[in-house]
Structure formats: structure tokens, C-alpha cells
Amino acid sequence: MATKEFKAESKKLLDMMIHSIYSQKEIFLREIISNSSDAMDKIYYRALTDDKLDFEKDNYSIEITPDKDKRTLTISDTGIGMTEEELEANLGTIAQSGSLKFKTENESKDNHDIIGQFGVGFYSSFMVADKVTVISKALDSDQAYKWESEGADGYTITPVEKNSVGTDIILELKEDTEDEKYSEYLEEYRLRQIIKKYSDFIRYPIKMEVTESRPKKDNEKEFEEVKEVQTINSMVPIWRKNKSELKDEDYENFYMEKHYGFDKPLRYINIQADGMVRYHAILYIPESIPFDYYSKEYEKGLELYSNGVMIMEKCADLLPDYFSFVKGMVDSEDLSLNISREILQQDKQLKLIAKNIDHKIRKELEKLLKEDREKYETFYKAFGRQLKYGVYSDYGQHKDDLQNLLMFYSSKEKKMVTLDEYVSRMPEEQKYIYYAVGESNEKIDKLPQTELVADKGYEMLYFTEDIDEFAIKMLIKYKEKDFKSVSSSDLGIEDDKDKKQDEAEEKANKGLFDKMKDVLTDKVKGVRASKRLKSYPVCFATEGEVSIEMEKVLNQMPNNENVKADKILEINTNHNVFKSLKAAFDLNDQPKVDLYTNLLYNQALLIEGLPVQDPVAFSNSICELMG
């Protein structure tokens, strides 16, 4: 029979598919197996309305047969088969899918659905094969037909003999090159790997002859290799089972089988949604952080299945960045797929699933916090930073959703507390939620800025991560209570009597403070008497939106080297150092005023963990003071 040409658009599309659409050649096997599953589903549908036809599921299977000598890979099924006209229609015109047409004519029942919505999946076989042969015998037909093609040049259809109903697809693999080893698709271990990865949950058995090593019958110390046909896929996915059938170990085993992590999951979520969009999901909250979590190599995302067939290994669109640590899978019946199952349309269904998953994860974390504080703190130690990023990112769009999940170390409780717990303990007269920022809890304990707040008996939250203050600045307030840094120029603690005393003191020392400001030039915005210091001689206060800790963080970023906080040098007027400084000023001893001023400024820098600009001059000043 003469070779028939593909239509012009089909030639172009085939060429595009082979060279660009599929990113991984191994998925050709997934596509062919999915089509075989479709073919058996069609018999099931026919049996629903045809009393003469019985559907016994045990009679239906897919068989994989590699032949290294002939360099062929054969995929056989016992499905509905194709007539000559169907071979012409389904394989002669790319993107003409019998499955898609069939799906529109039949309602899904008893978990049977048609996977292959587009006929182009079959043509992925040309990525690995020089020649593809399809031998098919349709149900209710006495004649079988063979479809053959070597690619875009065309195809032939001829009558052949075939004893049983179904389809055999024979791939004559390409020769190996330096870049591609097509022989791997004849290796038993590689075929098993691909089937388990993409087609493990196809509901019909996928069978293949495998080699097993077993003890000999007459001598158990010696082993022999035995070949036997085994079912490679598990067929029934965990998410399709009733929740009541599953135990904790089932979820843990699935977690390990799918290589979601080497740890044990802290929590799992089983979702079976049947509303505006139908889907099943198994989600896991890991116990420990992956080693590459904050590297460029880490990819967030959930495995995405369409009716049990994996179509994406990492679907990033299903998870917001602040929940990027969540592992698991989603299987949906409603996703719209375009020309390749690898490429998803950004459709309404996917966005609905993502929104629902976001809500479910958040509620599960809130439940964990309430029911098992120790486990939640384990989780928070690993991933709390990511939640804070979620509060800060997207201009605070998600802050209301995430604020109840945040935790910080408490100066009073000496442990991690939530914002709700902090606010519930606030005295009636306390106006603000106070926080202090530093490298560690131990260093914050020693900060001079904490003295007044601690003296009042108010609880402070300790911020020790660089993201903490940025997140809180975005949060602004919690339950109508504003956040206030202990380094803020106005702590909102003083009463009217204190304010009058401070004003009198400020007035009495105005000349000295002005002189100190002149000595320090533009290094500080001002110098004033401290309202907060009890035992320390000096500290910085800040005004404006940028704190000293934020200054440190921002200056570590590329192209952000000149960010400065508005610093106020606060002096403890009750300290002996100030008395010496005041005496020098009263005696008009300008060199000593300069010396004390610079020493106090550098001392404030060191307290904040900021670099002294001229260490040599600083050490000389100390020596001069000691002399």
C-alpha cells in the first residue's frame, strides 16, 4: 500500500512535538500506557449499555516487552482496539483524539475516566523511535490492521493477522548517540523506574517479565536468577482509598516511597474535594528542613496527576512561596490540558485547587499549634522564617492569614509565644507590643534599650532573625495594638510628671548636647538625655522607618550600601561618665568634651554590633583616657 502523507499542519506539529514540546523523552512511555488504559476504559463504557458484553477487570492488562537483540520495545493492551477508519482518524491526523471525542459522549462512572484527551501523546514515541508500528484489532471486528510510520514523511495502513482484540505498539529505538542513550529504554530497571514514576496508579495491571535472584531449592546458600512476569504498578493510589481504611503508617510509607523526604512527616492532610472542582490530595508538613531549601536548586511544588497519571513532578502554582516546604500530590479529574500533559493551562480549576490547598494547610498548622505545641515548635524552628517571609512579601497581602502562626521568644516567659498569647497578658495600661532586636536572645538581654520596658514589668518579644522586623513593620499592628521597638525614640511609657522632668533636664543640658552634636557632625540626628537608661551610660535610639538592625540587613544587599537609620545618641545623665563630661564642658575643656563624646558614640556603636569607623583612633582615645 502506498504511503499516505500527514497533512501539512500535522507534519509541522509532529516536528515541533519531537523537538520541543516534551522536556523529558522518558514520558513517551507514560503517554502510550495512558492510551492503553483509555482503550480498556472504552470497553468498560461499552459494557454499561451493551448486555451482550461483560467487563471482567481481571481480563485486562498492559504488557511491556523489551527486546535488546531487535532493539524494540513493545507495549500491548487488551483494550477496545481500532478499525482501519479509526487508525486513519486517530493516528493519521495529529491532535485528532478518539479519547477526547469519546469523553464528551460518556459520563464518568465508578472512577473510570478517559486520560488521553489529546491524540498527540502517541507521537511522543518518535522522540525515541525511528519507526513505530501499531497493530490493532477492534472489538466486534474480524480483521486487524497495521499502521506504520517513520516520522513526518507519512504512514501506511495494511491488513494483518491478529488473534486477540487489542493493540500492540512496537517501537524500533534510535541508535545511541553521545548525548542520548536510547538503549536505556530496553533495560528492565529503567522501565520499572519510569512506570513507577508516572504510571504507578493506572488502574489496570502493567506487566513485564523481570529477573529475580532467589536461593536455589537444593541449596539455599546459592542463588540463581529466575525470570517471571510481575505487575509493576500498584494500581490503587492511597488517595483513592477511604480515609477510614488508612493508618498513620500508610501515610508514612507513601511519604518514603515517593521520596518526599528522609525524615518523618510531622503532619499529613488528606483532602477529598468534590465541589466546584473535584480533586484528591495528600499533603505533608515535614519535620526538618531540606538541606538545599534556601538554595537555587530547591524547587517547590506538588506532584500533579490527572486521573492517576502524573503530568507534572513539581507544580509550583499549587503552593504559595510561604508554604513551599509542603510536600505531596494532587490528583484532579477536572484539569484542562493543552497539547502536552506537561504544559498546564493557567485555568480557573488550577487556581481554585491552589486556593483551597492554601486554606487547608493554614488550618492544619493552626490545629497543630493548638493541639500539639511541642510539634508545632519543632515545625516553626525549621520553617518559621518562611512564614515571616509570607507576611512581608507581596506588600503584606497574606499577613492576616499568617499572623496567628507567628511565634517569638518572650522576655517574660523565657520561651516561644504567639502574638495572641502576648496580647492576652498585656496590662491594661500598656499601649504597645514591645520588641527588641539583636543577634541572639542572650545579647538582647544585655541591651541597654530594654531597661525601662523591663523596669515597667512589660513583656518584650525578641527578634533574632533578619526578616523579623521587616515582617512586623508590614504587620503594623495585631488586635489593634501597634508594635513598638524598645529602641524607638518614644516608648509611650512616661507620664506627665516624667515628661516635665525630662523637658527641664533637656533644657539644662541643651548647650552640651548641641556641642556633642557638632562634634559628631552628621553621624547622629541628635543628642539628648535618655528616658530609658538605668545603669548603662549611653545607647542609640532611632526615628523613622529604618531601625539599626534593618540598616545592617539592607547594607548587606547588593546596591544598598548607604542605607542609614536616623540615630539619636541618648545619654544617661545620672551616670558618672556624664558627670565627667558635664564637668569638662563647664570648664570649657573642648579636647576632653571631644574625647568623651567620641568614646560614648563608639561605645553605642559597639553595643549595637556596628563597626567602629576608626579602630585605631578609638584605641588611642581609650589610652588617652587611661593616661
For residue 113, the model assigns a pLDDT of: 43
For residue 97, the model assigns a pLDDT of: 47
Per the annotation, does 163 bind a ligand?
Answer: no
Backbone angles phi, psi at 532, to 5 degrees: -110, -20
Angle between helices 576-586 and 510-520 (to 10 degrees): 90
pLDDT digits (tens, 9 = 90+) for 107-154: 544 444 433 433 457 888 888 999 999 999 999 899 999 999 988 778
For residue 432, the model assigns a pLDDT of: 95
Per the annotation, does 97 bind a ligand?
Answer: yes
For residue 187, the model assigns a pLDDT of: 96
pLDDT digits (tens, 9 = 90+) for 363-389: 999 999 999 999 999 999 999 999 999
Per the annotation, does 119 bind a ligand?
Answer: yes
Per the annotation, does 90 bind a ligand?
Answer: yes
Pairing of strands 166-173, 129-137: antiparallel
For residue 495, the model assigns a pLDDT of: 65
Per the annotation, does 117 bind a ligand?
Answer: yes
Per the annotation, does 532 bind a ligand?
Answer: no
Q: How far is CA 429 from CA 64, 111, 426, 452, 498, in A?
A: 76, 62, 8, 15, 16
Q: What are the residues facing 212 on neighbouring strands?
A: 226
**Which residues of the chain are under the pLDDT cut of 50?**
94-100, 102, 108-119, 339-343
For residue 17, the model assigns a pLDDT of: 61
What separation, in Å, do the N-terminal and C-terminal C-alpha atoms of the chain show? 110
Query: What residue ranges define each of the domains in the chain, with the CATH number in brackets?
Result: 10-229 (3.30.565.10), 238-371 (3.30.230.80), 406-485 (3.40.50.11260), 496-626 (1.20.120.790)
Per the annotation, does 122 bind a ligand?
Answer: yes
Per the annotation, does 31 bind a ligand?
Answer: yes
Q: How far is CA 455 from CA 340, 350, 429, 438, 440, in A?
A: 67, 54, 15, 19, 21
For residue 561, the model assigns a pLDDT of: 66
Angle between helices 590-607 and 576-586 (to 10 degrees): 150
For residue 309, the model assigns a pLDDT of: 81
- Which of 263, 313, 315 has its CA nearest to residue 290? 263
**HSE on the CB side for 520, CA within 13 Å?**
23
Per the annotation, does 308 bind a ligand?
Answer: no
Per the annotation, does 118 bind a ligand?
Answer: yes
**Residues whose CB is less than 8 angstroms from the CB of residue 298 and which lie 6 or more positions away in sequence, other chains included:** 290, 292, 324
